[in-house]
């Protein structure tokens, strides 16, 4: 007897993704944890200017903070960013930092080629977008200089990953989501181990504020964080699935210092040398 078919939900489109991601950024402590995790890596280079490859550089916010707040010295920056909306702001940020640079508006795949080699390669939350994340990690490793470091930021195994795993176990998304949240630090670490690549994983205790969601407040962005994690609109889920996701969020949340509910969602940093 065949099992029942999964319900198919519409994946977030680009505008919905941008809107929910904006709320996620506002309500997540992830960015600060990333800077803390990256500090010992930056310190390991001392005052030596490095050649840096950033895969998915976006508007250069994180790299800029590494330079201005953490003290990373950059001799040359190769920025890969396929999103056309980010390119102008990316170029402006690099120009302000007065760096020698190249901007490449391509997707990073196993076919990517450059004669350059890098002291540090940064892949910040870009694995969710990779059609072959294993090949992408191996390609990046091949571009390191001797004693170079590949730094991968990704969600850990708790929080959003648990919600999305439960969701996909009961439903399907139409097409590939913009971010594949089935990829956690666990899958990345297992792939590196299976390819005999040495690595280290460090975690930061980041959380996401989900108070309005748990209190069921009727505000325009109440469900944004959960919708971003699920890559589909929470509002459109069947009632039983909504209730199940709600219960999972509440079980994994606690009251923060400001009296609001926060969802545990650790940030992982994987270091490959």
Distance CA(191)–CA(177), nearest Å, equals 21
| Cα-trace Rg, the chain | 19
Contact 159, 217 (CB under 8 A): no
What pLDDT, on a 0 to 100 scale, did the predictor assign at position 2? Answer: 46
Q: What is the pLDDT of residue 1?
A: 38
Continuous H helices in the chain = 14-27, 30-44, 61-65, 84-97, 133-142, 160-170, 185-194, 211-214, 224-230, 239-251
Instruction: Return the pLDDT at 204.
Output: 97
CB neighbours of residue 234 within 10 Å: 23
- Cα distance between residue 19 and residue 40, in whole Å: 33
CA distance 62 to 38: 10
Pairwise CA distance, residues 234 & 226, whole Å: 7
Can you list the domains of the chain with their CATH numbers? 7-272 (3.40.50.150)
pLDDT reported for residue 117 = 98
Asked if 181 and 20 count as a contact pair (C-beta separation under 8 A), the reply is no
Q: Are 159 and 128 in contact (CB under 8 A)?
A: no
pLDDT tens for each residue of the chain, 273 residues long = 345 689 999 999 999 999 999 999 999 999 999 999 999 999 999 999 999 999 999 999 999 999 999 999 999 999 999 999 899 999 999 999 999 999 999 999 999 999 999 999 999 999 999 999 999 999 999 999 999 999 999 999 999 999 999 999 999 999 889 999 999 999 999 999 999 999 999 999 999 999 999 999 999 999 999 999 999 999 999 999 999 999 999 999 999 989 999 999 999 999 999
> Which among 79, 83, 88, 129 has a CA at the least distance from the CA of 109?
129
What confidence score (pLDDT) does residue 79 get? 97
Condensed to tens digits (0 to 9), the pLDDT of residues 200-212 reads: 999 999 999 999 9
Q: What is the pLDDT of residues 9-66, one digit of tens each?
A: 999 999 999 999 999 999 999 999 999 999 999 999 999 999 999 999 999 999 999 9
pTM of the predicted protein model? 0.94
Q: What is the 3-state secondary structure (H, E, C) of 116-183?
A: CCEEEEEEECCHHHCCCHHHHHHHHHHCEEEEEEEEEEEECCCCHHHHHHHHHHHEEEECCCCCCCCC
Residue bearing tokens 């545990």: 264
């Amino acid at each position: 007897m065949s099992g029942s078919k999964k319900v198919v939900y519409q994946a977030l489109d680009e505008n919905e993704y941008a809107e929910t991601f904006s709320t996620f950024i506002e309500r997540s402590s992830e960015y600060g944890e990333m800077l803390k995790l990256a500090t010992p890596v930056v310190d390991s280079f001392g005052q030596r200017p490095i050649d840096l490859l950033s895969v998915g550089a976006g508007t250069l916010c994180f790299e800029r903070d590494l330079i201005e707040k953490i003290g990373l010295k950059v001799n040359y920056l190769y920025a890969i960013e396929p999103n056309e909306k980010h390119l102008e702001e990316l170029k402006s940020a690099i120009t302000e930092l007065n760096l020698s640079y190249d901007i490449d508006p391509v997707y990073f795949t196993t076919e990517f080629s450059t004669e350059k080699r890098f002291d540090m390669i940064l892949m910040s939350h870009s694995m969710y977008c990779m059609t072959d994340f294993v090949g992408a990690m191996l390609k990046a490793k091949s571009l390191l200089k001797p004693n170079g470091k590949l730094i991968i930021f990704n969600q850990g195994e708790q929080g959003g990953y648990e919600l999305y795993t439960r969701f996909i176990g009961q439903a399907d998304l139409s097409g590939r989501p913009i971010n594949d949240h089935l990829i956690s630090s666990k899958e990345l670490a297992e792939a590196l181990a299976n390819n005999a690549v040495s690595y280290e994983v460090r975690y930061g205790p980041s959380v996401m504020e989900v108070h309005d969601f748990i209190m069921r407040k009727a505000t325009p962005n109440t469900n944004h964080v959960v919708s971003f994690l699920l890559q589909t609109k929470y509002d459109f889920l069947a009632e039983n699935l909504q209730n199940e996701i709600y219960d999972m969020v509440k079980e994994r949340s606690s009251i923060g210092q400001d009296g609001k509910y926060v969802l545990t969602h650790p940030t992982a940093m994987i270091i490959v040398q």
